[in-house]
Amino acid sequence: MAIVIDSSAKRLTLHTANTSYQMMVGEYGYLFHLYYGDSIGDGDCSYLLYKQERSLCSSPFCAGEDRAFTLDTAPQEYSAGGAGDTRLPCIIAEFPNGGRALDLHYFSHELLAEKPALKGLPSLQQGEKTCQTLEITLKDSDSEVYVILQYTVFEEDDCIARSCRVENRTGAPLRLEAALSACLEREAEEDLDLISFWGRHTMERNVERRRVSHGKIVVDSARGTSSAQQSPFVILCDHHATEDAGRCWGLNFVYSGNFAASAERSQLGSVRVTMGINPETFSWKLEDGESFQAPEVILSYSGCGLSRLSSNYHRILRENMCRGAFKDCRRPVLINNWEATYFDFNTDKLVRIAETASKLGVELLVMDDGWFGKRDSDWSGLGDWTVNEKKLPGGMQALCSKINALGMKLGVWFEPEMVSEDSDLFRQHPEWVLRIEGRGYSRNRYQLVLDMSRQDVREHLYQQISKVLSSANIEYVKWDMNRPLSEVWSQLLPADRQGEVSHRYTLGVYELMDRLTTDFPHILFEGCSSGGNRYDAGLLYYMPQIWCSDNTDAIERLEIQYGTSFGFPMSALGAHVSACPNHQTGRTTPLFTRGVVAMAGTFGYELDLNTLTEEEKEQVKEQIAAYKKHYDTINKGEYYRLTDPTRNRELCAWEFVSRDKKKALLFAVGTHVRANVAMPVIRMKGLDAGKQYRLTCQADHPLTKKDVGAKDGVYSGAVLMNAGIRTPMLKGDWPAFCVELEEVENA
């Protein structure tokens, strides 16, 4: 069984295929964390608990004269603030008298045969998998405050979905100042690192690895989104953990707003990691009889390195977070007109782009920003979601008919959450934006943020957007969001509830997304927020792919996509071949290389194909044909990081292996070509050692084609994984190569 409850020992154990998670009800009814790691079968880890009197560590009232018992050093399953544990708290509650202490004890538990949904929030879906859920109720010792911890075990995926719900039955209002979703405790003797993913606009999710020393490490966002600056995904791991060895614990937050992930090494060396909604931008007035549902955290553990941990997350997000018609089917190869035209386009210009694109195999034209209202720059027009017929005579239907006649689909860009100061919507409803009454407001691109916590705002947006989507055969939507939140204040909420606005904003966005994606199931929605400013597991619940970064430079993308791959599947990673010189860096990169890098994601084009030479157009045809041929291997197979582009300054390599291990693809880009060097060897991963594979190498440089390193031929999986492939001789600026492997039966 996935969940084993030993009532006599008051021990509760969660089992996945390769891991165990154990807790127990200990002295005085406190719920203690015992173990999370490699499978221990029916083992009992309660012997790890110990107590010892410590100076300056308080004992709870219920312990009486037992001075050796203290919560300040105990491994708690869910930590509460104000009652003796001075380390990172998961929950802080303020009572009507101003008191801020909770003393949580085990109250009851319930075993469920399925995974419950979280009201108003994205969460993993059970689907066709068999899941068990354990709900543990904790109760405050001196009041009727209850905390329900929820654990759903995805056994075959080595993942546990964890969340909590707070219920107020006290007869009076309660104010939550923190309500985090998960707490994870580790032993004192361990030498651990925390891996997080920092960034900025156009350079998101850079890998940062820090030793967990005494004190706190905080990874968070207060920008209103999960942010480009920090990702809501962290890894705790052995200091010497690598891709293929070492213990790794992951926490992936299913939430798109402000978050905080914190790690603290205590005075005695133990480590606590917490994750949830950022307490600095949160408070919640919980009336008597009400409950507050915290978002979900996906826990996963690997005892054999970072690669396995990533694989766990790739699989469960792809299979149990993404939903809808586009979860499993092949998504169309698209071309986006943004870098080709920016705001300067009309129907004729778009049709010319589509005519060329359709001949080369592109299947979807995405019309980006500028098709609506008074929108010839980013100074005006946002919020006025009506077609500008000066640009598009005959409206959306006329354009769509012309695009469909070419055998292509039409997609449209929206930025629903924003409004320009120069717009009809803002002039009509200035009260609909986030701004504090009596104060000025912050500008960003001369656009303001609509108060998505308001139902009237959401209803207006739904009516406007659904009218456009119903007006023509639109089959794709790019949902953008291009500024952080500021002056977070709503005219509809009283002063004592303004701390709720940020979370209510996120819930409002989710509600609108859910309504639109439900009512238009045939439309492929892609998330975007100035690129990767809202790249998180929560968004994947509504949109199966997210534009990874506004930085389309192929060489910069190597590091961006590398960092993203640790916690998110490549099937969700929006990646395009863009124009050169690149619009962000000015770098010129071979078209072959740009295609190789973009094939690590959803694949498309961000340029005017009419500007390409005939030879380049033939390359585009080949790229599209190759992507379609290998779609399942890339989007449904196992992904492996073969080199670290932040350390290996000469070569970046990655690999895809099909589920049945019959096919594999090795991609590599030379990032610093040097003279008179040895051709390095790349050892492949994930193949079947006993299978024979036919190897075919493709490269973009004439000299490379003369010496492809590993010769085209047949090799065993054992040879390719252990002896490896010698790379081609790399020449020129940013060269790339691709190696295709296919099983040869009866070889």
Q: 290, 511, 616, 644: which one is catalytic?
A: 616
- CATH assignment of 3-320? 2.70.98.60
| 409-414 and 296-302 beta bridge pairing | unpaired
Question: Which residues does 704 contact at the CB level (< 8 Å), separation at least 6?
Answer: 728, 729, 730, 731, 735, 737
For 256, 354, 366, 544, 624, the CA distances from 334, given in Å and listed in that order, are 26, 10, 7, 15, 10
**Can you read off the two tokens belonging to residue 373?**
């209202």
User: What is the structure's pLDDT at 293?
Assistant: 98
Structural domain 552-571+580-599+617-747, CATH architecture: Sandwich (2.60)
Q: 158, 296, 422, 536: which one is catalytic?
A: 536
Residue 575 to residue 591: CA distance in whole angstroms: 14
pTM listed for this prediction = 0.97
What spatial distance separates the first Cα and last Cα of the chain, rounded to whole Å? 42
Q: Helices 614-629 and 347-360, interaxial angle, to 10°?
A: 70
Residue 384, amino acid: D
What is the DSSP track for 315-372? HHHHHHT--STTTTSPPPPEEE-HHHHTT---HHHHHHHHHHHHHHT--EEEE-S-SB
Coil, helix or strand at residue 557:
helix
For 97, 200, 470, 587, the CA distances from 583, given in Å and listed in that order, are 58, 17, 34, 8
Which of 550, 521, 512 has the alpha carbon at shortest distance from 534? 550
User: What is the structure's pLDDT at 705?
Assistant: 41
| 474-479 and 409-414 beta bridge pairing | parallel
Residue 534 to residue 255: CA distance in whole angstroms: 10
Coil, helix or strand at residue 40:
coil
- Residue for token pair 């060396």: 269
Q: Which residues of the chain fall below pLDDT 50? A: 702-708
User: What is the structure's pLDDT at 182?
Assistant: 98
Is 328 labeled as catalytic in the residue annotation? no
Is 622 labeled as catalytic in the residue annotation? no
Give CATH 2.70.98.60 domain extents, the chain. 3-320
User: What is the structure's pLDDT at 704?
Assistant: 41
**Can you read off the two tokens belonging to residue 657?**
């292996």
DSSP state, residue 202: T
C-beta of residue 368 within 8 angstroms of C-beta of residue 353: no
Residue 392 to residue 390: CA distance in whole angstroms: 6
User: What is the structure's pLDDT at 634?
Assistant: 97
Beta strands in 128-232 (DSSP E): 132-140, 145-154, 159-168, 174-179, 182-186, 192-200, 203-211, 215-221
Q: What is the pLDDT of residues 686-700, one digit of tens each?
A: 999 999 999 999 887
Residue 7 to residue 455: CA distance in whole angstroms: 47
User: What is the structure's pLDDT at 703?
Assistant: 40
Q: What is the pLDDT of residues 387-445, one digit of tens each?
A: 999 999 999 999 999 999 999 999 999 999 999 999 999 999 999 999 999 999 999 98
Give CATH 2.60.40.1180 domain extents, the chain. 552-571+580-599+617-747
- Residue for token pair 């904003």: 505
User: What is the structure's pLDDT at 103?
Assistant: 97
* Helices and strands, number each (H, E), in the chain: 14, 40
